[in-house]
Chain A
Amino acid sequence: MVALLLALQLRTITVDQRLAADAHVRVGDTVVVSAAPGTGGDSVIIAAIIGRRADPSEIARSDYRVHLHLDQLQRLIGYGDRVDRFAVSTHGDSAADSAVRAINDAAFGFRAYRSRDIAIETSETFAVVSRFHRAIGVITIVASAVFLLCILLLKVDERRRDVAALRLLGISRRSVMLTVVLEAAFVSVIGSGVGVAIGWVTSLAVNWHYQARYQTPLRFALVTGDIVLFAVTLSLVLGIVAGALAARRLVRTHPLVLLGR
């Protein structure tokens, strides 16, 4: 009864999943929160355990997070009737612009910013990572292109005897070239299809690993339609170019030379 009465007087807080796991606390537990280690504080009840949002800015942060009632936190840290910021919801983009203007015209000692502007300012880290990924991506694409060209040139080169036989049977150079190019294009499309499947499976593994590591619902690797289209198109173009280059050299060589005679 005494415990119930005490609980009714205690205020509630929420803690994040990582803190709950590391401190072995559960919903309903009573804990003490204070402004500094070793100093007196308030006993509070954990009302909820909250998961992290899909927010990139929280990924590298290893700090714990607790939500308290505003007045309780102000009192605990001796902050008086002060806050660090207000979040204001408006009806649409144009209303946000006029609200920002109105607040800044009337404000004394503070400023209003659009959420979008703050997001740009605080997402510089991710812009840097994104630029790094793009640069690595370009290097990977160049490496893949050279690899693909090399493999397709070898593949077409292997057909020198077949090409010689076709030419000796009277098939035109144009038809032979078209056949070889079509074959190279087919191989490229099949290869890129397999690559897309491997990429999709890899993205699942990457998301699973990093979501578990950083305890976030954020998706780290995405296989989108645009990416698939780019990969298949690049592969197809490289296949056709490599096929055309190799076939051109083959059909220009005398069939008997191709046969080694």
Chain B
Amino acid sequence: MRLVLALASLRRNRARTILAVCGVAIAAAMLLDMVMLSTGMRESFRQLLLSRGFQIRLTPRGTLPFDTEASIADASAVTAKLRARHEIDLVSPVLGASVHVLRGDSSITTFALGVDPTSQGDYQLAAGRDATDPGSLVANEDFLRATGARIGDTLRVAAGFDPQLRTHSGERALVVSGRAKFLYLASGQLAVAIPLHTLQQMTGAAREDRVSLFMVRLRNASTIDEVKHWMRTALPTIDVISTADAMARVDERLGYFRQLSAILGAVSLVVGFLLVTTLVTVSVNERVGEIVVMRAIGVSRAHVVQQIVLEGTALSVTGAVLGTGLGLITARYLNTILSRFPGLPAAIDFFLFQPRAAWTAIGLLTACGVLAGLYPAWRAASLPLASTLREEAVA
């Protein structure tokens, strides 16, 4: 009964109600987008880091993975030291370098990862065989498209280029053994994975027995602090970065987006709240006579309050539900814009949909709708009956 009366009241001023629902829907869409932005980016990055189960990255002191050309010396000794620890399940040494695929007089430059195919965590093989043979490589789709190469083709690959003499060094013939999806690279980035020793040999003395980073997987994630402590003591020239440390650094670098999402989310909530409050207040002011008559014929105060609060709630819930759909569309559009950040891994989503985000947005707006209706409802239900009836009659 109360709901029927509330809906009838909203239907009475159709244009006003539609506008208010539109306003709440846009506020809800913005709120959902901002909740998705604040939590999604972080969650997406965390999922990416843990996608292959490696909890720790070791990099040259003071650097992030592939942030600079710095490398770790004595890679074999470090690998052996790491593998000797019983808490460590898998160690994946990785060397990053630029290589040139020679095609007649020209060449195509691509990013190369030197990996141990049996322990690597940088790519997922999509077709063909892994690069287990020293004279083979696996490449991503973008590389194969750019070079026109296919699985089974042999490519001439050089690791160095002297711009003054215009000559290549460290040249090798490598067979494309497979196609892979590289997890941490930007979309459109050309990439190949080459056996670590092959790439080290190609890059010459400068990279002999050196790697850019180690990825480490633990048998038991709860031992991470203990292992980190040991690593910092045993390997003083290396930075130990756990997933939590990496997340903290990402938070620091992309903190701007989290702050922006918090501010815009709060503004959306305030706009939704103000809109519903204004509408319900005006609606109540217009119906003072009607409300007082209801009270005079015996309708309880609680009944009046509930009816008015229901009006605000109905506006908010309808707007929030419509806004959820709108928010998902705008989030997709905004994600397309931000995914063009140079160097950002293609797998990162700034606006990651999580059911919790949608429920948070709808819940917050519904709570606002209830709160927005409370004050005008209480004021209307508390009007003195006799004097208000007289004023309404005179008016």
Which A residues are closer than 8 A to B by beta carbons?
Answer: 36-38, 60, 62, 108-110, 124-125, 128, 131-132, 135-136, 139-140, 142-143, 146-147, 149-151, 153-154, 157-158, 161, 210, 213
Contact = CB atoms under 8 A, between A and B. Distances in A.
Looking at chain A's contact residues, the main secondary structure is: helix
Contact of B341 (A38, A125, A135): A125
Nearest to B333: A135
B208 to A, nearest CB: 15
Contact of A150 (B264, B275, B330): B275
A139 B279 contact: no
Nearest to A111: B163
Contacts of A161: 395
A36 B62 CA distance: 10
A132 B164 CA distance: 42
A157 B341 contact: no
Contacts of B15: 153
Contacts of B162: 109
Nearest to B261: A136
A242 to B, nearest CB: 10
A128 B16 contact: no
Nearest to B267: A140
Given A109-B166, A147-B23, A150-B23, A38 B279 contact: no
Contact of A143 (B30, B253, B338): B30
A121 to B, nearest CB: 9
Given A37-B61, A62-B253, A143-B30, A132 B338 contact: yes
A161 to B, nearest CB: 8
Contacts of A213: 255
Contacts of B337: 128, 131-132, 135
B391 interface: no
Nearest to B334: A135
B279 A109 contact: no
A125 B62 CA distance: 24
Contacts of B61: 37
Interface in B132-167: 162-166
Contacts of A38: 236-237
A1 to B, nearest CB: 37
B59 interface: no
A109 B164 contact: yes
Question: What 6 pairs between A and B have smallest CB-CB spacing?
Answer: A109-B164, A109-B163, A143-B26, A146-B23, A150-B19, A37-B61
Contacts of A147: 23, 271, 274-275
Given A37-B236, A147-B274, A153-B15, 17 more contacts: A36-B237, A37-B61, A38-B237, A62-B252, A62-B253, A109-B162, A109-B166, A125-B342, A136-B260, A140-B264, A147-B23, A149-B19, A150-B275, A151-B278, A153-B16, A154-B279, A157-B16
Contacts of A150: 16, 19-20, 23, 275, 278-279
Q: In the complex, which range does the number of interface residues on chain B fall in? A: 35 or more
7 contacts: A128-B342, A135-B333, A136-B264, A140-B30, A146-B22, A147-B271, A213-B255
B310 interface: no
Contact of A154 (B16, B165, B252): B16
Contacts of A36: 237
A150 B13 CA distance: 12
A131 B340 CA distance: 10
Contacts of A109: 162-166
A149 B29 CA distance: 19
Looking at chain B's contact residues, the main secondary structure is: helix
Contacts of A125: 341-342
A60 B253 contact: yes
A124 B275 CA distance: 38
A128 B164 contact: no
B282 interface: yes
Contacts of B279: 150, 154
B338 A128 contact: yes
Interface in B19-48: 19-20, 22-23, 26-27, 29-30
Contacts of A108: 164
A124 B278 CA distance: 43
Specify which of B22, B27, B165, B236 lies most central, judged by the most chain A CB atoms within 10 Å of its CB.
B22
B268 interface: yes
B163 A146 contact: no
A30 to B, nearest CB: 21
Contacts of B278: 150-151, 154
Interface in B250-301: 252-253, 255-256, 260, 264, 268, 271, 274-275, 278-279, 282, 285
A216 B110 CA distance: 35
Nearest to A213: B255
Nearest to B26: A143
Contacts of A157: 16, 282
Contacts of B62: 37
A218 B298 CA distance: 66
Contacts of B249: 62
A89 to B, nearest CB: 24
B340 A128 contact: yes
A175 to B, nearest CB: 24
A206 to B, nearest CB: 9
A153 B337 CA distance: 35
Contacts of B29: 139
A124 B186 CA distance: 14
A131 B271 CA distance: 24
Contacts of A154: 16, 278-279, 282
Contacts of A135: 333-334, 337
Contacts of B330: 139
Contacts of B237: 36-38
Contact of B271 (A110, A136, A143, A210): A143
Nearest to A133: B260
